[in-house]
Chain A
């Protein structure tokens, strides 16, 4: 005879202790993050944050941050989706070396990435390109700097997303008449859309907060190459801690709102549901 509450009976003290331990760890981390924001909130006020919108430099930096992060995320995914699929599906003795090279932007300090970009664009091919399109210390340099770091993150995430799919589905698709390219577009790509969406969100967040390479490669010129992290740096450099914190809270607010909106949209627009491939 099956007992009522049999599931509850199976939840032993050991099980409850296990889940309680996990809850303690996550609670501790969340408390730490909230404490970080709470402690800083005493050094600024909501009026300081609202006052930021009356400053044309901050409005410009906010617009540029949103625009550059979105463009660099799209460019990152354009490279990361095919690269991640290749790394997840192909076997080559050079694969490990390729992966290490693609991880270089993650290993290097951000300032060094900026410095390397600056040097690259001073080489003859870089100068030739700049004679047609201004890059260094201009808006394209911000997108490139964010894109270099963002792509490295996105490639890793896309490789994991494709590796977690059942490769047999693509093989079966090929026996049904799909070429390798059709198996990718009809089977692997739609099946990985959840991973692609997560990669897009995290890459966008990474690009939005990028600072080191932008400072070196793009400079920190107000109303020209100033993004929100640059604004924080400029405010701190003139000793205006209250304004720097206000911009920081603005960044947190914008990022949290947009990421939340993306996730809610993703769930409602069947990004997380199967069956929207064709």
Chain B
């Protein structure tokens, strides 16, 4: 009964609970995805995979600030050729949906990588059109409605599985991009990716990250992400996945109330531990019982009534 109360369907993906591993966190190998799955996630999202291998930036790639982490990994990944076998292995191990995060330097690259990810067994793809620290991809795609529409259309044309679009907060109006993605055929939206940020060491008077600029994650961005989800719920009909600074069940409930059908957790895996997934689910379950609600579905968007 408790398991049932947490289950939710997002654009055809059946999740046993609404807590998803966010992209970029421990998502290289099938063994690590499986290990996270054992910690009670509803689904996992892989690291962002591109058409070709990328080494990413040199260290420091992560810096802790007083209010969260700033990272600029630089999209290190083995490329879809090598990663296809990891997807196949992960599919053989996992009992939860496998969402492959995909990036590209053109609409064609997004489409080809997504197609091959699905061919290898991905249950869905999440388009990274929001990475804030690599030129000519990520947010440079996702901040322009016309380019974004082209990417989503080309991916949808070659992929028969749900296509999720992960949006950036580093734009003037996130709702405009969300509507463009939805109109182009996106099946769901993830909001949000990290916020452009940096840290400078005052002793050496140097930016700490090797890439100088990175993306801020963690508790500091939660209120921003929450506002984005709340706004998007009023603008688009497709399901929303909340992401940004979620560290406990209260945060997760807030996102559900704002209109998210599920949430993604990333930074908290490091700041707490992989056990954070179970803890969030336990808390959401208890909250449902206390509020005498049958299902997590009853929470979605509840803060919008009146």
A in complex with B: no
Interface residues in chain A, defined as those with a beta carbon under 8 Å from any beta carbon in chain B: none
